[in-house]
Chain A
Amino acid sequence: MELKTKIKAEDGKQEMVITREFNLPVDLLFKAFSEPELIEQWMGTKVLKFEGKKHGSYQIETKDPKGNVAFKANGVIHEFKPNQKITRTFEMDNTPFGVQLEICVFEPVTDDTCKLNMHVIYESVAQRDEVLKLPFAQGINWAHNRLEEIVSKLK
């Protein structure tokens, strides 16, 4: 399987850039980022609140198979330009990861293809690096983030 998503996260910087080209017209990509029922499908999370507008806010939540809330996050939307740009914050509840600023730019390439550029800025280099390690703990066993602990002990 080909990996189309690219991530640039240089050493010692508190930011990263995620880019990806889609075989979709830009309006469909934007729709996937701005309609709660679509966000739920591809992010695999429940959208509790979503106000797709300037000064709007959102809340998402994921439950483990037993129905306990395992992951909760929220943010505010600073800029919402249909088919062009979303600037928002993202913060995971009850975690030490702090707030991140996400600047998502949607760009048409052809009529049927487009490009996403997500510029993510963290509070510190350390926080960015912690977030980068998260996929180990995520989606595995929400009740216990043991693997993350174990991986950190391996250092």
Chain B
Amino acid sequence: MNLRRDVFQAIADPTRRAILLLVASQSLTAGAIAANFDTARPTVSKHLQILTECELLNQEQTGREIHYHINAKKMKEVADFIEPFRQMWDDRFNKLEAIMKNYKPNK
């Protein structure tokens, strides 16, 4: 199912995992989340959008601000699954393959 795959792609990204970690302990505004990263603000916004679309984060409007908080139910669903572990190895192996394709033995 498409949605499910998207969730796992969402958590395959290290920045997005870091965002989940931050938001896991307290709900935060986009600005407060972005302040934790060296990444450009629009990039962080994009990550937040993806996490929200995958229902890993919920948005809550309080006055003029939007707070993000973690969707525990969705997180649990993902955590019970082996997929993140596979993603981790797949990322490593993709990197390995890319490195070795460019490998020039220095004799």
Contact = CB atoms under 8 A, between A and B. Distances in A.
A7 B82 CA distance: 8
B101 A23 contact: yes
A146 B99 contact: no
Interface string A140-154: 110010110011001
A43 B96 CA distance: 8
Given A42-B95, A147-B24, A28 B88 contact: no
Contacts of B21: 140-141, 144, 146-147
Nearest to A24: B100
Interface residues of B, number: 32
Nearest to B72: A154
A147 B92 contact: no
A135 B72 contact: no
Contact of B100 (A3, A28, A135, A155): A28
B6 to A, nearest CB: 12
Contact of B95 (A41, A116, A132): A41
Contacts of B76: 151, 154-155
Query: How big is the A interface, by class?
Result: 35 or more
Interface string A13-52: 0000010101110001101100000100111100000000
Interface of B, helix, strand, loop or mixed by DSSP: helix
B90 A4 contact: yes
Given A42-B95, A154-B79, A7 B14 contact: no
Interface of B: 9, 11, 14, 17-18, 20-21, 24-25, 70, 72, 75-76, 79, 82, 84-90, 92-97, 99-101, 103
30 contacts: A3-B87, A4-B90, A6-B86, A7-B82, A7-B85, A9-B82, A22-B100, A23-B101, A29-B100, A31-B100, A32-B99, A32-B100, A38-B99, A38-B100, A41-B95, A44-B92, A136-B17, A136-B79, A136-B84, A140-B14, A140-B17, A140-B20, A140-B21, A141-B21, A144-B21, A146-B24, A146-B25, A147-B20, A147-B21, A150-B24
Interface of A: 1, 3-7, 9, 18, 20, 22-24, 28-29, 31-32, 38, 41-44, 116, 131-136, 138-141, 144, 146-147, 150-151, 154-155
